[in-house]
Amino acid sequence: MTPTEPLIQMVDVDKTFRQGHRVTRVLRGMNLSINPGEIVALVGESGSGKSTVAQTLVRLYEPDHGQLVYAGSDVSHIRGGELKEFRRHIQMLFQDPFASLNPTQTVRTILLRSFPKESKTSGQKALEQHLRDTLAEVDLSPPDNFLSKYPHELSGGQRQRVAFARALGVRPQLMIADEPVSMLDVSLRLGLLNLMQELNHSQGLAYLYITHDLASARYVASRILVMYAGQVVESGSADAVVNRPQHPYTQLLVAAAPDPEQRGKRDESVTINGEPPDLSQEIRGCPFQFRCPLVFDPCLTVNPAMVEVGENQWARCHLFDQRQKTVVRG
Amino acid sequence: MDQDTKTPPAFAVEHLTVRYPSERGWVQAIRDVSLQVERGKLVGLAGESGSGKSTLVLAATRVIRPPQVAVDGQSFINGRSILNLRDAELRKMRWSTFSFVTQSAMNALNPVMRLRDQMRDTIRAHDRSYQPSVADARAREVMDMVELPSSKLLSYPHQLSGGQRQRAVIALALLLRPDLIVMDEPTTALDVVVQREIIDLIRRLQNDQGFAVVLITHDLSLLLEVAHHVIVLYGGRVMEAGPAEQLVENPLHPYSQALMHSFPPLHGAVSAQVGIPGAPPDMVSPPPGCPFAPRCDRVMGICRTTMPLLQTVGQVDVACHLMNDQNREVKTL
Ligand SMILES: Nc1ncnc2c1ncn2[C@@H]1O[C@H](COP(=O)(O)OP(=O)(O)O)[C@@H](O)[C@H]1O
Ligand SMILES: Nc1ncnc2c1ncn2[C@@H]1O[C@H](COP(=O)(O)OP(=O)(O)O)[C@@H](O)[C@H]1O
Ligand SMILES: [Mg+2]
Ligand SMILES: [Mg+2]
């Protein structure tokens, strides 16, 4: 694998769920790419498909169309041993650490079960050391205070760290963190985000950080993808997306985010009419047209393509087709 | 004489202490808290989960009451003492003098009733001269205020989206023109964009109608942006209270300072931030001194033994031994 080859890629992925007669097209041509050691944030409203992206990336779901490419090979439909091997490289961290930890197991048991088989043949002493090292990595120290505890005996922040330690046990290359701090108190969130960054620096661990909080996305990630109705509508460096958003939806998200700096400065409220589209209906044209303050004719019929709108910044919006044309003409 | 001419605050508690019985002993959720909410103001109650925000407003309005909890101290709404009011009097005040908006709209709305019928019932319970046509006219008025079409009055709660449901709860809270609306995490379950719509709506309504709002949220950046006044709770005590601008620009308590650095800024330079290591105290056996002492990076000996009292520094009330002149000198030595 060359250093520039993406670790994982989603290429034009569609994912549809069927429940009785109801057919929901949740992912609609989803594209993303994460390089080794990169931290990418995926931002969007609930229902936009973020968790479905996460589950597809770990192949809990199979893409209906398009490909999931890991280290250069198509893993969209692999099975059995191949799938098991693939999953070792990608781990998930969930929003609710309580739901993801077995309440009847001690921290020791939870971690031991997560270690790969090889490590269990290396002798009791080495295994004990590995347990302690893993806890130290997530700043749970001294380890003896935690090894014999059950999840309910830990605080929310500590539980999330145990879940983190368990995910680290198999030495993954990519961690998918699906709203990992949204249930933690404000004072504890940065601790976990900093931990993610430390492990990124020390082990080159890559992340897909899923959140609806733009400020924390900018804090932890180098690149931000903004998702709407099953597609990426804008991508770029974290700084560009938050400070120079180009897509009207991203502009809306930035304007709506709480910001003490805006105290008393906000002019009349951001008025956004409507809600995200119903994904069980056919959508003609741009999925954001129903809420977009800048909607014009082409939006009603054609879903726009991703267009480069700045240095490594891309947006899926007809406003930029126009600009491209003028640029070409001029 | 002077007492009579002065309008009492919309909401005030004095030396309020609230304890829950538990297997492990008393949970000391609120400990000697005093605060005031002036008429027409939006006052934010900030604090980590477990700091006592909900307990404070629930006990002060007698939504929770003995034997569920033990309550000491006083609570006043529009100058009327709440804790020793007769039940019938209290029922009269609910909705018409103060009302509630909670995180889960489903708790406030009856799932098997159309909005219109729920509003009719609320009005009927308070108005002896109740007439359906008058009630329906008021129902349409409040729907208009929260920018929902009147046709939704015929809907059941489950037929509305999350944002619409929260608007309906606000409409219900406005129905009998209260002077105080207590909102406990009203936007926590909503997306940022919908949250912004609801918060803007609350501020517009408050401006037009002049009721006071107690807004509880753990989202400090939101609170600092929209509240007139902010009260920071920790371990069941008030740590700092004052105008929101003051807290944004110059937080005095080490806990408020640490909180301000706990969320990354939306714009401006990104720099490493630390949050607050450690965890809030166990409220069955809180530390004898300042509840924040175990996590405070400027802790002194006295902090571990003696709870600092709230003292006024400029426009702000702070409970911290560092505000004490002697200790200030020690600090600068
Ligand atoms: N297993 C499933 N079956 C049917 N619909 C689903 C399933 N998983 C997700 N959905 C639907 O897909 C949409 C996107 O969901 P999700 O990926 O969880 O979004 P997000 O994480 O951004 O909130 C939602 O409308 C949800 O109801
Ligand atoms: N019904 C109850 N029984 C026992 N303890 C409770 C009960 N409700 C809340 N508490 C405790 O009281 C303290 C304050 O809780 P709460 O008022 O809910 O805080 P907040 O709203 O700030 O999150 C916490 O320590 C909490 O565990
Ligand atoms: Mg999700
Ligand atoms: Mg609460």
> B285 CB under 6 A from ligand 2?
no
**Mean pLDDT, rounded, for B131-144:** 96
Minimum Cα–Cα distance from B51: chain A residue? A185
A chain contacts of residue B279, beta-carbon cutoff 8 Å = 155, 157-158, 188
Tell if the CB–CB gap between B263 and A253 is shorter than 8 Å.
Answer: no
**Mean pLDDT, rounded, for A53-76:** 97
Q: pLDDT tens digits, residue range A141-158?
A: 888 889 999 999 888 888
d(CA A271, CA A298): 23
Tell if the CB–CB gap between A185 and B48 is shorter than 8 Å.
Answer: yes
Is pLDDT above 50 for B331? Answer: no
pLDDT at A302: 96
User: Which domains, and CATH codes, for chain B?
Assistant: 11-97+178-330 (3.40.50.300)
Mean pLDDT of chain A: 90
pLDDT at B325: 67
Phi and psi at residue A32, in whole multiples of 5°? -160, 160
pLDDT at A10: 98
Name the residue with the closest Cα to ligand 1, atom 9: A52
Name the residue with the closest Cα to ligand 2, atom 9: B55
> A95 CB under 6 A from ligand 1?
no
> B13 CB under 6 A from ligand 2?
no
Lowest-confidence segment of A102-116, A209-223, A261-275, B58-72 by average pLDDT = A261-275
Is pLDDT above 70 for B333? Answer: no
pLDDT at A144: 87
What is the rounded end-to-end Cα distance, in angstroms, of chain B? 50
pLDDT at A170: 84
Is pLDDT above 90 for A262? Answer: no
Residue B205's pLDDT band (boundaries 50, 70, 90)? very high
A chain contacts of residue B259, beta-carbon cutoff 8 Å = 186-187
pLDDT at B144: 95
Is pLDDT above 60 for A328? Answer: no
What class does CATH assign to A8-320? Answer: alpha beta
> What is the percentage of chain A residues whose pLDDT exceeds 70?
94
Residue A118's pLDDT band (boundaries 50, 70, 90)? confident
Which residues 275-294 of A are in CB contact (within 8 Å) with B?
275
Residue A327's pLDDT band (boundaries 50, 70, 90)? very low
**Six-digit token pair at A72?**
């250069």
Is pLDDT above 80 for A274? Answer: no
Is pLDDT above 60 for B294? Answer: yes
**Mean pLDDT, rounded, for B73-87:** 96
Q: What does DSSP assign to residue B158?
A: G
**Mean pLDDT, rounded, for B172-183:** 96
**Mean pLDDT, rounded, for B319-328:** 83
Which position has the higher pLDDT, A272 or B250?
Answer: B250
Whether A312 has its CB under 8 Å from any CB of chain B: the answer is no
Please name the residue that has the structure tokens 């009630």.
B135
Q: What does DSSP assign to residue B94?
A: B
Q: pLDDT tens digits, residue range A224-261?
A: 999 999 999 999 999 999 999 999 999 999 999 999 88
Contact B140, B150 (CB under 8 A): yes
- pTM for the whole structure: 0.91
Tell if the CB–CB gap between B277 and A191 is shorter than 8 Å.
Answer: yes
Tell if the CB–CB gap between A270 and B268 is shorter than 8 Å.
Answer: no
pLDDT at B105: 63
Tell if the CB–CB gap between B268 and A261 is shorter than 8 Å.
Answer: yes
d(CA A197, CA A204): 9
Mean pLDDT of chain B: 92
The pick from B28, B45, B55 for probing ligand 2's pocket by mutation, whose C-beta has the most ligand atoms within 8 angstroms, reads: B55
Is pLDDT above 60 for A329? Answer: no
| CB burial of residue B164 (10 Å; 0-12, 13-18, 19+) | buried
Please tell me which of the candidates B49, B200, B267 has its beta carbon nearest to residue A261.
B267
Query: HSE of B15 in the Cβ direction (CA atoms, 13 Å)?
Result: 2
Whether A127 has its CB under 8 Å from any CB of chain B: the answer is no
pLDDT at B187: 87
Which position has the higher pLDDT, A218 or B324?
Answer: A218
Lowest-confidence segment of A43-52, A121-130, A213-222, B261-270 by average pLDDT = A121-130
Compute the nearest-CA separation of B49 from chain A (Å): 7
Domain residue ranges of chain A, discontinuous segments joined by +? 8-320
How many angstroms is it from A58 CA to the middle of ligand 3?
15
Residue B327's pLDDT band (boundaries 50, 70, 90)? low
pLDDT at B332: 44
> In sequence order, which residues have a C-beta less than 8 Å from that of residue B100 and are 6 or more positions away?
B61, B63, B108, B173, B181, B182, B183, B184
pLDDT at A216: 95
Whether B48 has its CB under 8 Å from any CB of chain A: the answer is yes
Lowest-confidence segment of A254-258, B130-134, B185-189, B309-313 by average pLDDT = B185-189
Compute the nearest-CA separation of A86 from chain B (Å): 34
Helix (H) or strand (E) holding A313: strand A313-316
**Mean pLDDT, rounded, for B7-19:** 97
pLDDT at B207: 93
Lowest-confidence segment of A76-85, A95-104, A195-204, A318-327 by average pLDDT = A318-327
For the four alpha carbons of A103, A109, A111 and A116, in that order, the dihedral sign comes to negative
Residue B46's pLDDT band (boundaries 50, 70, 90)? very high
> In sequence order, which residues have a C-beta less than 8 Å from that of residue A134 and are 6 or more positions away?
A111, A165, A168, A169
Contact B186, B103 (CB under 8 A): yes
**Mean pLDDT, rounded, for B31-37:** 96
